[in-house]
Structures are given as structure tokens and as C-alpha cells.
Amino acid sequence: MDETLEAKRFNEALDALLAGKAGGVGTDSEIQRDLEMASRLLSSDLSRQSRVKASLKSELAGRAPANARPGLFFLPPLRRLILSPYAALVVIGLLSPLVFELYCIQRAPERSRLLGTVGRAAGSMGPSYEPGVMGLARAPEMHSMEMASFRKLFRGGEGAGASYPTPTIGPNARTGSLESLKKAASKAAAEMNQGGAAASALQASADASQALPNARPANGTKPRSIGSFNPLIAKEDVLSQRELDGEGYDFAPENEFVKASDQPLSTFSIDVDAASYANARRFLDQGRMPPQDAVRIEELINYFRYDYPEPAGEHPFSITTELSACPWKAGHKLVRVGLKGRSIPNEKLPPNNLVFLVDSSGSMESYDKLPLLKKGLRLLVEQLRRQDRIAIVAYAGTAGLVLPSTPGSDKAAILAALERLEAGGSTAGGAGIQLAYEVARRNFMEKGNNRVILATDGDFNVGITSDGELVRMIEEKRRQGVFLTVLGFGTGNYQDAKMEKLADKGNGNYAYIDDILEARKVLVQEMGATLLTIAKDVKIQVEFNPARVQAYRLIGYENRLLKAQDFNDDKKDAGELGAGHTVTALYEVIPIGAEADLPAVDELRYQKTRLSDAASAGKELLTVKFRYKKPDGDRSLLIVHALEDAVRGWDEATQDHRFSAAVAGFGMLLRGSKFAGNLTYAKVGRTAGEALGKDEGGYRAEFLRLVEKARLLDQRQR
């Protein structure tokens, strides 16, 4: 369409709208769509002021700047319209509490611009609606104080990559206190010595947002924030961090001491996940302590690799045990049990039939979600071989096949499909998982690794949403030979509990990716362990000798505990071990004769427990039993390993033993454990610093940095 004619038609339609009449007759669909958005201005007296109308219309004849991007400014008249500094300020001020989510992005090293992205009003726009973007250009005539006040209100700071959320509308609205918004707007308006329309616009926007019935979710749920600083929320109006974030973590009380004479068996499923460590690192890097329920100590310990021997026999993993004095409680002992899965070079891995199930919903828009996911998957694509096959399914509103199963050698096609992924719409997670499994089954490899890789923040809200429904579907698919790996991304609405459960029931592993280095660790350096399961349903049962052990406590694994009878039940699901994976478990043991404050149990009336002669006379402290199945097997195999009691000082322990104890101590401090004894962050740092070992990749050195951050942040240690 001719630009002059287009501008004229838009001008006429705008006249009709500002006059309170039905507008848009005769305009094309794109112009009509934007006029419908503009019609929201009619509720404000300010929108009918002739000088605002004139300011808007005067820019229709202008030209867009040379560096404007056509993809962002999709209508030429709109490009010219928004260049008026006062018009842009008025529009943004009026609409931001209603339909805008502002964010700062760095377009180039020499140019940083504030962009306001038109948000979707709940139920008013379809998932395919592509919003326009309005940029704020600084006008030479604008007073410096006015611009500074505006930046203070809507930006909150300088720097590339910073994220400063503002209220949005919808069932997952991330919003702060509207009263605080009003106060901030009024303060900024008072500072503007040129006042006028700009100040009135800010005040009107606050008033409108205060009255808007949809400003908070209609279902009564509490609002969420994305976890970064919001300059629009006054300090006195900030809710608790847990309420603001809306992140989901399961409550799991820490394990207590158990008397060996009453309960000599400790049974649990292995856990190779390491998501909790990366997630806790994310919180500490943001300058805040992680929620206690987000800290799973076994995942902190298992984030690191230990120098366990490679398997030498028929079984696919080796077993290591070690005993020492306990570093945080005098008179106690510390037992370490370690497994090491057989390492398989990437070139010898069986062929992969992988389906990337990518969450491309609106909640994945921020830089630490879909953009980071795409960068991480590119790293994995570079490792693919000709015999591997890749498909991509995306879900947002409805699920769709982005890339049919494609040979790993056709990297260009795979990367091009990844590049096409964009965030938008609601989250049809259940439909996406169903389609991904269907694609995996159509391309099933009898002798290969068949796996769905789900990458998401876990915020499912359309379709199959209940944990029970999802778990039942995933359990059925795993029995058909298709496993599930879950990669978590992002902050604010991150659903950790749901993703851990899905990975557990899908015979896969769960990782949290907070930056590109973690993506490389999970998807490149540990690709074999991430993608190939060498043993499934791996269970550990430790029998303690009551003649030598008064009580014991398993450190971590709270949500992996099993009943004693589950150990021999091959129908009971348990954890999976990947190629090259290591698993470590620690027990704190109170030996016979040591002082212990344990709850008493009355003597039994009808039976007595008598120790065997072997228990009393032997040197065994405990016996470790393992059960596992082959990846395609249904019957478990048993391994038994005994550990003798010994007097071994802390200084005699290996570096791996001391470092794993330091990580466990760090987890106890983060959780505020009552069993932390004499632990401090300083002591944890010293212990870990003396046991760094080879430290390939520098992960142990990074741990020292996190310990120091926690020491400075944790008020309980002051």
C-alpha cells in the first residue's frame, strides 16, 4: 500500500477513535489490529486532548530513523508516529500498566535503547498475534531532569542485559503493587519541570491501572515476579520472596538419626541429578540465598566428579567405600559410598533417536530461557553424528512439529529450525509431550538411545497439567523404551518440583542450565552420561551392624527414600545411571559408646532382638547392597559390598572424601540444618580449598566462590 494513502487512512481512523466513534472502516487487517489496541486510550480524558492528538498525527508525515528495524516497526505510519518524544512518552505512560512489559536490551555496543513490548491482554488476543514494539527516542528539547526521572521510573539502571519487569496482564501476570506504581509515577511527574502531557500521562496510567479489574489475576492467585529487581515496587510493598517468585519446590524435611538396633536397614534410590546445585548458584549469583527447599544436598554432592575407578568386571559400575572421622561433630564418623558408571567414548555411543521438546511459550521469552536454550542446543548439535537422528517439537498454545526426524549430519537444517523458534502463547506442555513421544516412537531405534529432551521452565498451564496425568503418561512411554531428560531454564515461575518428578518417572536425568557454561557441561562434556542410560532402577540398601553403630543418618536423598521391602521389588521404580556418571552418598554415623541424644523407645513386650555372633565378633561396620537392571531388562541383579570398621582420622581421608564432605556441609548450612554441628562457611571453604585436587574445568574452585558469597549473604552466620 502507498505510504501516503496508508497514513491518510490511519489518520482518518484515529480521528474516529479519538472522537468516540467506531473506527477502522476500510483499513486493512494490520492497521485495524493496531487501532483496536489504540482504542484503549479512549478511557482516558488525556487521549481526547487535542494537543496529544495533534502530536500523534503530526508524526505521520515524518520518516523513521535510518537505523530503525523494519521487523520491529511493522507499519510505516506507526514508525513515524512513535518518533515524537511526547507522543511516545504519552503512549507508553498510558499503556504500560495495561498491556506493556518493558525491558531493556542492548542492540549494539554503541547503542542501548528502552523498548516497550505490547503484552497480550488475557483472552483478548490469539497466540498468533505479533505485537509491535515502540521505542523511546530522546528529543533534544526534553529537559534532562524529565528524562532522568523517566529512566528512574521505567528503567531503574544502566547496563546491557539487565531485566526490569513491569506489570502485565493475564493468568500468569507478573505484577507488583499498583499503589507503588502510582506513587512512583506521581513522584516522577512532580520532578518533571516541563510537566504537561507527559506528567499527566504518567498519573493517568497509574490511575487507570489502579481501577483496571484485570490488573491482578481473576482467579485470585498471587502475582509473580521474574526474580529481578523491580523499580516500580516500593520497599514497603514487597511481598515475601517466595510469594513474588512463584517458583515451585517440594518440601522435604531432612533425615533424622535412626537407631541401628531399631532400624538397621537404610534404603534409597540413586540420584544422578545435579539441578539443585546450578539452581542454588543462580540464587547466590543474584545476591540472595536460595530457598531451603531448593537445596537438595545429594544433588550438590553429585554435581562434582570424583576419582572412582572404572568398572572392571561384569557389572557396569564400580563401588567405592571410605570411612573417616566426621569433620563437623567430634566422636562421630563419616561414611562415603560411591558408584562410577562405565565411561563410553562419544564415537562408540549407540545411535541416538532424539526429540527436542522445546517450550516456546510466552513465559520462555527472557534471555535466560529460550535464547539460552537455543545456544545450548547448538552446542549439542555440533556433537551429533551421521547415525544420530534429531527432531524438534515446540509447544506454545498448541504443539507443532518444527523439524521432522533429521540425520545428525544435516546440521544446517537442524540449526535453521532452532533459529526459527520464538517465544509466544500459552503453554500446552501436555500436548507437546504427547507429540514428542509420538515422533520418537515413529523413528524408534531397536539398538539405539531413544529419548525425549524436554527444555522448559516447567510452567505448564494448558492441556494435561496435573502432575498425576503427566507422570502416568511418561511412565507408560518409558516402558515402551523412550526415556525422558529434562533441562530447566529461567527464574521467577520456575517449577523445579514438577520437572524433577517428570525426569525421575521418565527414566532420565534432570539438569538446570543457568548459563552457557552449564549448557556446555551438560550437553557436551557429559553428553554420554546425559543421553545414555547403562543401568536403570538402581537401588542402594545399607545394613548397619548394631554391635558397632549406635545410630546413623543419611545426608540428603530425602525424596529418594524407599521402604526396606522395595529393595527386592523389581516393580519399584528407582534411579538411572548414565555412562560415566558418578553417584555419592554420605552417612553420618554415631558409634557405640559415643554420647548421643536420641529419642527412646520402650522395650518390646513380645519379642527381643539378639545380635548374631558374627555381628558382635566381626569387624564389619556395615554392608552395602546394590540392585540394578540392564536398560532393556526387567529383572534386577544384586551386588554386595562390606565395609570394615576402623579408626581413621580426618587428615587421613582422601581428597575426594574431604571435598564431598565440604559440599555436604555447605548444603546443611544453606538449609539451616540442626545437624550442622560446628560448621561455618569459613570452615567449609578451608576444607574444600585443601581438597581441590586436579579440578578439571575449575568447578571446585567455583565452589569456593559460592561458599564465600553465601557467607556474606547468610544473616544466620553473622
Local confidence band at 13 (pLDDT 50, 70, 90 cut-offs): low
* Maximum mean pLDDT: which of 242-246, 494-498, 507-511, 671-675: 671-675
pLDDT: which is higher, 303 or 426: 303
Instruction: Read off the pLDDT of each residue in 114-122 and give the average, rounded to a whole number.
Output: 28
Position 396 scores a pLDDT of 75
Provide the CA 289 distance to its chain's centre, in angstroms.
16
Of 28-42, 70-84, 533-547, 700-714, which range is least confident? Answer: 70-84
The C-alpha atoms of residue 183 and residue 699 are separated, in whole angstroms, by: 46
Burial of 79 (0-12, 13-18, 19+ CB in 10 A): buried
b/e code 192-204 from CB counts within 10 Å (16+ = b): beeeebbbbbbbb
Same domain, 316 and 369: no
Position 110 scores a pLDDT of 31
If we measure between CA atoms, which residue out of 470, 394, 396 comes closest to residue 427?
396
Same domain, 269 and 387: no
Same domain, 677 and 576: yes
Give pLDDT tens digits for 439-488. Answer: 999 999 998 999 999 998 887 664 555 667 778 888 898 989 999 999 99
The C-alpha atoms of residue 384 and residue 183 are separated, in whole angstroms, by: 55
**Domain-terminating residue out of 466, 488, 517:** 517
Cell of 670: 544453606
Q: How does the average pLDDT of the chain come out, rounded?
A: 74
Same domain, 47 and 189: yes
Q: Which residue has the cell 500500500?
A: 1
Same domain, 264 and 366: no
Burial of 600 (0-12, 13-18, 19+ CB in 10 A): exposed
Q: Is the pLDDT of residue 4 over 90?
A: no
Do 67 and 73 form a contact (C-beta atoms < 8 A)?
A: no
Residue 522 lies in a domain: no
Residue 192 lies in a domain: yes
**Domain-terminating residue out of 468, 492, 517:** 517
Of 209-218, 259-268, 319-328, 384-393, which range is least confident? Answer: 209-218
Q: Is the pLDDT of residue 708 over 90?
A: yes
Q: Is the pLDDT of residue 375 over 70?
A: yes
Same domain, 230 and 264: no
Q: Is the pLDDT of residue 528 over 90?
A: no
The letter for the amino acid at 122 is: A
Q: Which residues have a Cβ under 8 Å from the Cβ of 369 and sit 6 or more positions away?
A: 363, 423, 457, 489, 490
Helix, strand, coil proportions of the chain in percent (round to 5)? 40, 20, 40
239-244, long-range: CB < 8 A, 24+ apart? 241/288, 241/291, 242/291
Q: In sequence order, what DSSP letters do the residues of 381-440 get, joined into one string?
A: HTT--TT-EEEEEEEESEEEEEEEEEETT-HHHHHHHHHH----S---HHHHHHHHHHHH
Residue 66 lies in a domain: yes
Q: In sequence order, what DSSP letters do the residues of 638-659 get, joined into one string?
A: EEEEEEE-----GGGS-HHHHH
Position 89 scores a pLDDT of 54
Total count of residues recorded for the chain = 718
Do 282 and 491 form a contact (C-beta atoms < 8 A)?
A: yes
The C-alpha atoms of residue 404 and residue 355 are separated, in whole angstroms, by: 9
**Domain-terminating residue out of 241, 273, 298:** 241
Q: In percent, how much of the chain has pLDDT > 90?
A: 44
Q: Which residue has the cell 503530526?
A: 58
Which CATH number characterizes residue 449's domain? 3.40.50.410
Same domain, 483 and 569: no
Residue 473 lies in a domain: yes
Same domain, 541 and 682: yes
The C-alpha atoms of residue 486 and residue 361 are separated, in whole angstroms, by: 16
The C-alpha atoms of residue 486 and residue 455 are separated, in whole angstroms, by: 6
Local confidence band at 238 (pLDDT 50, 70, 90 cut-offs): very low
Number of C-alpha atoms within 13 angstroms, CB side, residue 335? 25
Same domain, 363 and 305: no
Same domain, 426 and 556: no
Give pLDDT tens digits for 21-50. Answer: 554 445 455 555 555 545 444 444 433 444
Do 201 and 93 form a contact (C-beta atoms < 8 A)?
A: yes
Residue 603 lies in a domain: no
Same domain, 340 and 382: no
Q: Which residues have a Cβ under 8 Å from the Cβ of 455 and sit 6 or more positions away?
A: 356, 357, 358, 359, 373, 377, 486, 487, 489
Residue 605 lies in a domain: no
Same domain, 8 and 127: yes
Residue 60 lies in a domain: yes
Domain span including residue 631:
258-344+534-591+612-717
The C-alpha atoms of residue 380 and residue 374 are separated, in whole angstroms, by: 10
The letter for the amino acid at 619 is: K
Residue 629 lies in a domain: yes
Total domains, the chain: 3
Position 611 scores a pLDDT of 84
b/e code 316-344 from CB counts within 10 Å (16+ = b): bbbbbbbbbbbbbbeebbbbbbbbbbbeb
Position 345 scores a pLDDT of 86
Position 531 scores a pLDDT of 80
Local confidence band at 659 (pLDDT 50, 70, 90 cut-offs): very high
The C-alpha atoms of residue 48 and residue 21 are separated, in whole angstroms, by: 12
* Maximum mean pLDDT: which of 168-172, 314-318, 395-399: 314-318
